[in-house]
Structure 1
Amino acid sequence: MKSKVVFFLTVVVCFLLQSTVMDLISIGSVTPNLMLVLCVSMGLMRGRKSGLWTGFLSGLLVDLFFGSIFGFYALIYMYIGYLSGYAHRIYYDDDVKVPMFLTAGADLLYNLAVYGLQFLLRGRLGLRTYLYRIIIPEMFYTVFITLIVYRLFRYINYRYMNIARKESESIWVLK
């Protein structure tokens, strides 16, 4: 029970930081995606099922407050959390390179999905402009934030959610 409360509070605090503080530290109207870092981190540290639920809850909050199509961001974040959970078995705690590469790849997939489903379907074909002005700067900025925030997520995971981690490694849980 304690781990679920800490999990929920972590998602809510990250959402609040994403929607308030991250807008203040934007550079050239590019903000880092803290919710994406959370989904990748939880999927990487705790497995596919936890990454899926983290992504779904994060995306649901984004959809409720900022989304134009309900369920769009929930689906994208859910897939990102689930796919990052595949690296759970090859993950080492102290190595920060794996979360950085996964965050870069997930941010690229996230932004391409947003471009494809929200801009391309409306007839806006400026992929090169979107790529150079939004996708690549946001990817680098999000990876930089991953260096800072990942250690905090790792501390929260091992300090407060250790019981849930044992449950995610059970053979009875969907893998």
Structure 2
Amino acid sequence: MKRFLIYIFLTIICFLFQTTLFQWLELADIVPNILLILVISIGYMRGINEAMFLGILCGLCIDLMYGNYIGFYALLYLVIGFFSGCTSYFYEQDDYTMPIVLIGIGDLVYGILFYSLSFLLRARLNIFYYFRRIMIPEIIYTVIAGIIFYKLLHSLNGFLNKVEKKEE
């Protein structure tokens, strides 16, 4: 129960970082996707169920504030949470390269799904412009931010695991 309350708190904090602090730190009109880092990191460390819960929660935050349709971003983050949760079977405590690669792949999948569902269905077929102008810079910026945020989330996960073991 404590872990889920902390997840809700983390979602709010990451959402505030993404929508306020990193708006000031944008590079070439690109902001890193901090909520995506949160979903992929927790999915990698904790598994499918917690990643899907966080995916829906993070997606609903964006839907309620910025989305045209409720559930669009929730679906995107849910799918990415599911696939990042599937990688939890390969989780090792000391591995920092696998989650960073997953953050890059997850942001690529997010960009492709977003393009497909938002632009492609409206007959905007210039995917190379979108790929070059938005997806590649966002992947790079998100991976750089992911290096910092993953270390923080990893240490928080270790602390919560110790607390849960003491309570048992």
TM-score when scaled to structure 2?
Answer: 0.93
Alpha carbons of 1:101 and 1:49: their partners in 2 closer, same or farther (altered >3 Å)?
Answer: same
Comparing 2-11 and 46-55, the one that deviates more: 2-11
Aligned CA distance change for structure 1 residues 10 and 162 (closer, same or farther; 3 Å):
farther
Change (3 A) 1:162 1:38: farther
Larger deviation, residues 89-98 vs 47-56: 89-98
Residues 1:51 and 1:144: Cα distance change in structure 2 (over 3 Å)? same
Distance 1:82 1:164 in 2: 24
TM alignment of 1:32-43, pairs within 5 A:
32-43=32-43
State the partner residue of 2:65: 65
Q: Which moved more, 1:36-45 or 1:156-165?
A: 156-165
Partner of residue 134, structure 2: 134
Give the match's secondary structure for 2:67: coil
| 1:151 CA displacement | 0.6
Looking at structure 2, the residues matched to 132 and 118 of structure 1 have their Cα atoms a distance apart, in angstroms, of 17
Q: Percent identity?
A: 38
Query: Which runs of 5 or more structure 2 residues have no equivalent in the other structure?
Result: none
Alignment deviations for residues 108-157 of structure 1 (CA, whole Å, 9 cap, x no partner): 11011111111111221110100001001101111111111101011122
Residue 43 and residue 63 in structure 1: after superposition, are their counterparts in 2 closer, same or farther (change >3 A)?
same
Unaligned runs of 5+ in 1: 166-175
Aligned residues: 165
Q: Deviations along 1:28-55, whole A, 9 cap, x unmatched?
A: 0011100000000000000011111010
Mapped contact 1:6–1:161 kept (Cα < 8 A): no
Q: Following superposition, which runs of at least 4 residues in structure 1 exceed 2 angstroms of deviation?
A: 160-165
**C-alpha distance in 1 between matches for 2:4 and 2:131:** 37
CA distance in 2: counterparts of 1:79 and 1:161, whole angstroms:
26
1:95 deviates by 1.4
Mapping 1:72-91, distance limit 5 Å:
72-91=72-91
Residue 95 of structure 2: aligned partner:
95
